């Protein structure tokens, strides 16, 4: 199978994630309005709790498979069978740990039952993850892109039926089981049909031992990331209660919805970084600089715009009951720039044989996150979790960027200049929106803000006609 360019891969996955995030956000809004803050807290907690355990099924094996198969296509079948067998065995053990842990924590019966179902969803997704890893290693993401959209469409349709029938809370997890089951079946069939991969070929301890040596830094990174990404929800649930989780999840959902942009790009550029690090250091530098510039221009107006419009956005989508989420949303939007940039920074470190360094950095971030949440949650509830998230993203950005500069030798002066021009353009946009916020509907203000931002960016030469032409030529020629 022909490998596909970074731009084309990014286009596939970005378009699918746009559709998926729109459908997912719509479904979340409908669920939030239908069940209220407290039940939303239980629902969100169950999904977050199960997600933390997902890394103990994968152990970085999928990322190791992507890394090796990106370097040499023939390595897919060498490792795939061993990885699948191992993950199936881990699935049994990990699900038992999920059940045991939630019972030890003395949650009410409804919360336990939600976690049991969420655990099944997590296991299905983890097997699917490895199958899509085969395609990611070959730099072909179009089939995964199709699956992502269909998966979310199934969740939305079945979820709407359950909401309409007013079934008990636990039934709202059934749509996820349907979507995850489809993705598993679809990825299995496509792997067989398109790549002609024999899943169970070359199952051996030696193959597994080799891939584990590569995978363990990815495993630690995944563990650290999941803990600092989801443990705040668990801590809020135990230390404050379900309502705090509900308000926090509403605030977190909006910036999280935009993460498809750096996530899709990071997934697409990871194999490219791995290849260019070995074969073309100059192209590695160029790819890295373009990615950072692109994300900066995209993320700053989003962060500023939603931060200014936080109150009308929360009120419009979720209603009065969720207005306590406004301050949390504003704090989280302040972190969005760092969230976006940390995706490609992590991909660069992992793709350029700095997995151990990245592991240490993410581990330190996890420790900082837990410490800050323990200090801030008792004083500020879910607002404290928002502050902790912002602080951790800034810390991870600073230390990762320092290491990335050593790898890429990029023109950091030009990077700071682009950031300054983009930030000033976003600030002008934010000021205009703030002046008009009491006079116009927030949807109209979004369009006005976009026009002001683009105009300011062009005026300040943060982006030029030449840049537009280069971007267009890149898209046409399928190169980045």
- Render each residue's pLDDT in the chain as its tens digit; 480 residues: 444 455 566 566 677 778 888 888 889 999 999 999 999 999 999 998 998 888 888 787 777 777 666 665 656 666 677 778 788 888 899 999 999 999 998 889 999 999 999 999 999 988 888 887 777 766 667 788 888 889 999 999 999 999 999 899 999 999 999 999 998 999 888 877 776 666 666 666 666 677 677 677 777 877 887 887 788 888 998 899 889 999 999 999 888 888 878 877 776 777 777 766 667 677 777 777 778 888 888 899 999 999 999 999 999 999 899 999 999 999 999 999 999 999 888 878 877 767 778 888 888 999 999 999 999 999 999 999 999 999 999 999 999 888 888 777 666 676 688 888 889 999 999 999 999 998 889 899 999 999 999 888 888 876 766 655 554 444 344 344
3-state secondary structure 365-405: HHHHHHHHHHHHHHHHCHHHHHHHHHHHHHHHHHHHHHHHH
The answer to whether the CB of 176 falls within 8 A of the CB of 155 is yes
Contacting residues for 230 by C-beta, under 8 A, at least 6 apart: 48, 49, 51, 52
Alpha carbon distance 421, 412 (integer Å): 14
Q: What is the pLDDT of residue 262?
A: 84
Contacting residues for 430 by C-beta, under 8 A, at least 6 apart: 304, 305, 307, 308, 449
| Sign of CA pseudo-dihedral 95, 101, 104, 105 | negative
- Degrees (nearest 5) of the Cα angle 340, 345, 349? 155
Q: What is the pLDDT of residue 273?
A: 76
DSSP string, 234-252: HHHHHHT-HHHHHHHHHHH
Residues in the chain: 480
The answer to whether the CB of 456 falls within 8 A of the CB of 428 is yes
pTM, 2 dp: 0.81
Alpha carbon distance 372, 301 (integer Å): 28
Would you tell me how many other CB atoms lie within 10 Å of the CB of residue 400? 24
Q: Which three-class secondary structure state does DSSP give residue 268?
A: helix
As to burial, measured by CB atoms within 10 angstroms (0-12 exposed, 13-18 middle, 19+ buried), residue 467 is: middle
| Dihedral angle over CA of 177, 180, 181, 184, nearest 10 | -160
| Rg of the chain over all Cα atoms, to the nearest angstrom | 22
| C-alpha to C-alpha distances, 235 to 43, 58, 239, 385, nearest whole angstrom | 15, 24, 6, 9
As to burial, measured by CB atoms within 10 angstroms (0-12 exposed, 13-18 middle, 19+ buried), residue 441 is: exposed
Candidates 337, 299, 301; CA nearest to 450 is: 301
Q: What is the pLDDT of residue 178?
A: 94
Domain ranges, ordered by start, for the chain:
6-410
Enter the DSSP assignment of 478. T
């Amino acid at each position: 199978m022909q490998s596909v360019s970074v731009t084309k891969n990014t286009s596939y996955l970005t378009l699918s994630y746009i559709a998926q995030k729109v459908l997912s956000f719509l479904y979340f809004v409908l669920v939030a309005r239908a069940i209220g803050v407290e039940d939303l807290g239980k629902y969100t907690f169950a999904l977050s709790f199960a997600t933390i355990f997902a890394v103990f099924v994968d152990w970085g094996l999928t990322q190791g498979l992507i890394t090796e198969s990106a370097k040499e296509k023939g390595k897919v079948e060498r490792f795939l069978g061993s990885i699948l067998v191992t993950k199936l065995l881990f699935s049994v053990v990990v699900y038992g740990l999920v059940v045991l842990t939630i019972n030890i924590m003395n949650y009410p019966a409804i919360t336990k039952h939600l976690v049991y179902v969420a655990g099944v969803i997590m296991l299905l997704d983890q097997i699917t993850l490895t199958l899509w890893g085969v395609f990611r290693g070959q730099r072909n993401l179009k089939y995964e892109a199709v699956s992502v959209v269909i998966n979310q469409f199934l969740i939305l349709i079945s979820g709407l039926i359950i909401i309409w029938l007013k079934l008990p809370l636990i039934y709202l997890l059934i749509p996820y089981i349907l979507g995850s089951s489809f993705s598993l079946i679809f990825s299995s069939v496509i792997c067989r049909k398109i790549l002609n991969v024999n899943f169970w070929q070359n199952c051996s301890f030696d193959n597994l031992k080799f891939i584990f040596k590569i995978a363990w830094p990815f495993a630690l990174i995944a563990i650290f990331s999941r803990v600092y990404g989801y443990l705040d929800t668990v801590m809020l649930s135990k230390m404050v209660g379900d309502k705090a989780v509900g308000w926090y999840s509403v605030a977190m959902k909006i910036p999280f919805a935009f993460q498809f942009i750096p996530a899709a790009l990071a997934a697409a550029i990871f194999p490219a970084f791995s290849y260019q690090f070995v074969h073309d250091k100059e192209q590695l530098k160029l790819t890295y600089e373009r990615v950072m510039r692109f994300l900066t221009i995209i993320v700053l107006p989003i962060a500023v715009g939603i931060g200014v419009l936080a109150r009308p956005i929360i009120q419009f989508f979720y209603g009065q009951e969720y207005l306590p989420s406004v301050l949390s949303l504003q704090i989280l939007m302040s972190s969005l720039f760092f969230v976006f940039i940390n995706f490609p920074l992590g991909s660069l470190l992992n793709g350029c044989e700095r997995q151990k360094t990245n592991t240490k950095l993410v581990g330190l971030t996890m420790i900082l996150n837990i410490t800050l949440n323990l200090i801030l949650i008792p004083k500020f509830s879910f607002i404290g979790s928002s502050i902790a998230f912002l602080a951790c993203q800034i810390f991870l950005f600073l230390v990762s960027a320092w290491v990335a500069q050593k790898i890429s030798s990029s023109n950091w002066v030009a990077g700071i200049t682009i950031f300054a021009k983009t930030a000033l353009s976003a600030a002008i946009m934010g000021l205009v929106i703030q002046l008009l916020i009491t006079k116009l509907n927030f949807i109209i203000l979004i369009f006005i803000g976009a026009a002001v931002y683009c105009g300011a960016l062009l005026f300040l030469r943060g982006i030029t006609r030449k840049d537009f032409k280069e971007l267009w030529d890149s898209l046409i020629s399928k190169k980045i």
